[in-house]
Amino acid sequence: MLNGLETKMTAVVADGMQSRAGFAVVEAPTVLTAAAGSGAVRVSVSQWAGFPGFQRDSVAFPSNTSSRRILGLDFQATLEFLRTPAAAGDAEAVTSRSLLLEDMSLVSHLLGADDVRGGKAFIPAAPDPGFEVLSFDLITGSLPVALAGGSLAGLLQYRGRAHIWPPRVTGPEKLIRTLDTAITAQPLAFSVDRPVTPAGGSTKVRVRSLNPHRSIAVTVASDLAPAQRGAITSGSAGVEPGVHIVAVTQPETVLDYTAPTGNLGTTRVEFVSVYVATIEGLRGIFLGAATVHLQP
């Protein structure tokens, strides 16, 4: 995941700078040091944050029969440079600064290549690395003028976008072999015998324009806790708690609703929600909802 990304970034810089004499590339948190007349850079993933997206963007399909949940991140990478003059004196400091500027220029050019900016260069040999880099771009570079502790230090900041996931963790997926169609006119026509129903009372909810060849799954939605809500008593209990499976009748399907009892708090409305019932007795596609007003 992020550890693998940091290691791969370090490898990319090390491979690109291997012909640079007297220059070392290390991964954080290795101590950044440079002997007299030499330079070094330390690579790290320093910050990250989630980026917004649709629900479908959080799932990837590594194969036709498996899926995994992925997390999208905007991340920041920091490259810390160090150069130590070969000896004391202004002339050696100027030479060291020139070399450091060259170090930073070479790395900036290396990481500005198309395969790096597009993320391709960060694809490791591991078949399931736990990360995928989508973009990688330079934000800023800085190089203070003065020596600090006898050395010169520079900084490059990069921003990137990536997907991460736990390696080798996937969930099974099944192939869609057949499609089950259900034609229902919408919006559904609802009517409630007692639009304002007292606590503990009951009423009938009538639904028209349902597909006569399918059953429906009905449940009650409200701001009350599930155990305190009103209930549908028609039909038979479904697989999911609080869901009843009701056969469709013509010209209308009648649902028996019982209002919640006890203290309603600030709740003054509940919704009788209607779904297509699946073969397994679960809620399928949402079709519509009737509003029942409550009276304490």
pLDDT digits (tens, 9 = 90+) for 208-257: 988 888 899 999 999 999 999 999 999 999 999 999 999 999 999 999 99
Fold of 2-172: STM4215-like (3.30.2000)
Interior angle at CA 70, CA 29 and CA 8, nearest 5: 35
Asked whether residue 265 carries a pLDDT value surpassing 80, the answer given is: yes
Separation between Cα atoms, residue 243 and residue 132, nearest integer Å: 41
- Which residues 6+ apart lie within 8 Å of 213 measured at CB? 182, 248
Contact 142, 154 (CB under 8 A): yes
Q: State which amino acid sits at residue 101.
A: L
Work out the end-to-end distance of the chain between its first and last CA atoms, rounded to an integer number of angstroms.
Answer: 54
Q: Is residue 54 very low, low, confident or very high in pLDDT (cuts 50, 70, 90)?
A: low
CATH 3.30.2000.10 intervals, the chain: 2-172
Structure confidence at residue 293 (pLDDT): 96
pTM exceeds 0.85: no
3-state secondary structure of 161: strand
Structure confidence at residue 149 (pLDDT): 85
Q: Which of 132-136, 197-201, 277-281 has the lowest mean pLDDT?
A: 277-281
* 8-state DSSP, 253: E
Percent of the chain with pLDDT over 70: 92
- Give mean pLDDT, residues 75-85: 97
* 39-50 and 202-208 beta bridge pairing: unpaired
CB atoms within 10 A of CB 246: 22
Fold of 189-295: Immunoglobulin-like (2.60.40)
Higher-confidence residue: 51 or 59? 51
Separation between Cα atoms, residue 283 and residue 276, nearest integer Å: 6
CATH 2.60.40.1930 intervals, the chain: 189-295
Residue 110: phi and psi, rounded to 5, are: -60, -45
Separation between Cα atoms, residue 130 and residue 62, nearest integer Å: 12
Closest CA to 286 of 224, 235, 221, 192: 221
User: What is the pLDDT of the chain when averaged over all its residues?
Assistant: 91
